[in-house]
Chains A and B, each alone.
Chain A
Amino acid sequence: MSERGGPGSVGRGDRPGPTPVSGSTRTGPTTEEAALAFEAAGVKTAPALTEENLRDLDRDLDARVFGAMQSISIRYLLLVGFLGSVVAFGAFAFGWQIYKGIGVAGINRPVFWGFYIASFVFWIGISHAGTLVSAILRVLKVEWRMPLTRAAEAMTLFALMIGGLFPIIHLGRNWRFYWMIPVPNERGLWPNFRSALMWDLLAILTYITASSLFLLLPLIPDLATARDRTRGLRRRIYGLLSFGWRGTQQQWHRLHVAMRVFTIVVIPIAVSVHTIVSWDFGMTLVEGWRSTVFGPYFVIGAIYSGMAALITVLVLVRRSLKLEDYVTLRHFDRLGKVLLAVSVIWFYMFWAGFLTDWYGGSTVAKLIQHEHLVGHSAVLFWTMMVVNVLIPFILLWFRRVRTSMTAMLVISLLVNVGMWIERFLIVTSPGINSLSYNWGSYTPQWPEIAIATATFAAFALLYVLFSKALPLISLWEVKESWRVDRWRREGLIEAESDVPPLTMGVPAVTGATAVTGATAVTGATAIGGRGGAS
């Protein structure tokens, strides 16, 4: 079965045979494993689906997703309460820091940046998962991305919202942060665009704008479905957010065009954002920071930690929202392969920088490396090496590991621990500088730890709330992929043709419109909008 565009990598082999799935039927892991084995043997397992089957599948998907959204259990409330209180404590710590002064943090001279900036880089890194999975896989027309895109795009936005707070939290005078915003002001002063921090500000604001739109656009048909399935206030809110979506040909066409433009645009934005974050360090005169490899090194690091975080989130979401049929073991198998590849590239980039620093012979850079290898930061450094390089490299070769939820959860968490350490080591390296009289070290204090912890809780909280407000799976894209697949099998679209799911519903899909024009149109409306409810 071909990797890309092959007949329904998703919702195909792991779909339970000819019996239409209705509501309660669910495939267990055994079916998935069987499907995996079949796929490995190159056997096509699933038979073609009829329009009738597809309708049943649609209904099942809707019922499961909206059912999970509308039931609110005590456990859910407890979770929200717990996460909320951690966030509240973080807010208190921030208030305390404002009241007493930034000195309650552990920073000093020469380590002027600490936990906050490490967390900043970390969260901006996490935000890259969404772009990678959604945009890059969209561009490559990888169909197995379908059930992952929404979760990934939401992650991007939440991680950015959190990451963007850190540069403000870390300021000496946080209450003046808006002085960096380039608007005409009473001070008659324009910000300094020569400063990498200004590039940062603009890059992050651009990225937040782009990723919000990137999340919102493909949400519209699903919001319309939600509107049609709810009553009262919820219906009105969803109605407002779905911008009057009715699922007409013209609307589908515009959505697809917009998505195509955005998919292309968002990739360079994402790459530039993390490059610019790396330039906060790479462009300075600080030994141990100044580097030409930092741009690509940080980008790949961001993708690495982002992929790992995505895997963590998917394991948890899949489990808690009972989405085992849609986010399948095969997805984890493939994500595991990507993670392995990215891990190796990350180590290559790391090594390119490390070796250059060492060979270049700068005393300070070599002393920093000495500290990392055998000195005060050796424990952190070697932990990073083990969890970022050794463990993924040894384990991710095995399909059994890649399809084991526990193993993937542990590996992905470890990778993120390692990536956090990496940022921490970079940010605090100016403890060793050119004038040895000024060397110093850094120990984080409780407000920094509280705030950093609170942001993890805030991320989880945003996700938990999001899961009840909006469908965490892009319903229409999943449904669309089933139909495109069916048309392919029936020869309405050429099997290997590159007609992407994105063009679905657009008259340009010649085969579909010619033969089953009417069906295609109703199918399209059913996927996201009016028809679904009736």
Chain B
Amino acid sequence: MVVDLDVCTGCQACAVACLAENNVGIVGEEEAAIGRAQHWIRIERYWDEGEYPEVRAQFLPVMCQQCGKAPCEPVCPVFASVHSEDGLNSQVYNRCIGTRYCAHNCPYKARVFNFFAPQFPSPLEQQLNPDVTVRSVGIMEKCTFCVQRIRRAREQARVEDRPIADGEIMPACVQTCPPGALVFGDAGDPDSQVSRLMASRRGIRLLEAFNTEPSVVYLKREGGLDV
């Protein structure tokens, strides 16, 4: 995935789309205030130097970076955090016993925990996605790159006996992003849009010093839209 920070407006539509797509529980204002919001993707807002109104906000959308060398994986005692064959870093909800060790070891703090059983205030329970597990209390969860959509696209392509087209798979956040700051695709295919964007000289990876080999590349700001 590529995130173009020059394009992101910080509108948080991606976060909302993600909640709807992935059956993420609603924790309410009080819980969110003490840091228990369940967002799988969040817009981190940082203020530049300066006094109001002469300040500039910077927005940094952070989701699970699907690391190649994911620090969350070796620390899980029950193999709930594992690498899938196609390179995703998956969380097996059924195995999780809630040690929260993975969450500590994640430098991006991308993992969120079900401190209580997830709530879906009416009418939200009407729109639960049947393709996604509704999690239970006491387990860890995180962004999956909308693995259900990846699987569906792959099966569709297999049925039609064709390769998956570039841009065919769209995680909910990518599909929703109004200015198109998020791009998803096959980084292994040199002709795909993400590969071309990743080659940009603006490309950086988040907290690269931890050597986690993230799959997400950020295109750093060089002007563009100021908010």
Which A residues are closer than 8 A to B by beta carbons? 100-103, 106-113, 167, 170-174, 176-177, 179-180, 187, 189-192, 194-198, 201, 280, 284-286, 289, 430, 433-438, 440
Contact = CB atoms under 8 A, between A and B. Distances in A.
B210 A108 contact: no
Nearest to A280: B101
B108 A102 contact: no
B115 A286 contact: no
B137 A101 contact: yes
A106 B75 CA distance: 23
B139 A194 contact: no
B72 to A, nearest CB: 10
Contacts of A198: 77
A260 B71 CA distance: 43
A275 to B, nearest CB: 17
Interface of B: 31, 34-37, 42, 44-46, 60, 62, 71, 74-79, 95-101, 103-105, 107-109, 111-117, 136-140, 207, 210, 212
B63 to A, nearest CB: 12
B173 to A, nearest CB: 18
A437 B46 contact: yes
Contact of B96 (A167, A173, A286, A436): A173
Interface centre among B79, B116, B207, by most chain A C-beta atoms within 10 angstroms, is: B79
A112 B74 CA distance: 18
Contact of B100 (A113, A189, A440): A113
Contacts of A176: 97
Contacts of B96: 172-173
Contacts, number: 139
B35 A197 contact: no
B178 to A, nearest CB: 22
Nearest 4 A/B pairs, CB to CB: A172-B98, A172-B138, A103-B115, A437-B44
Contacts of B137: 101-102, 172-173
Nearest to B46: A437
A434 B97 contact: no
Interface centre among A101, A102, A103, A197, by most chain B C-beta atoms within 10 angstroms, is: A103
A108 B36 contact: yes
Contacts of B78: 179-180, 189, 191-192
25 contacts: A101-B137, A102-B98, A102-B115, A102-B138, A107-B115, A109-B36, A109-B109, A111-B35, A112-B100, A172-B99, A173-B97, A173-B137, A180-B97, A189-B79, A194-B75, A195-B76, A195-B101, A196-B75, A197-B75, A198-B77, A280-B101, A433-B109, A435-B109, A436-B46, A438-B109
A192 B104 contact: no
A194 B210 contact: no
B145 to A, nearest CB: 20
Contact of B107 (A180, A197, A433): A433
Contacts of B212: 285
Given A101-B116, A103-B36, A285 B210 contact: yes
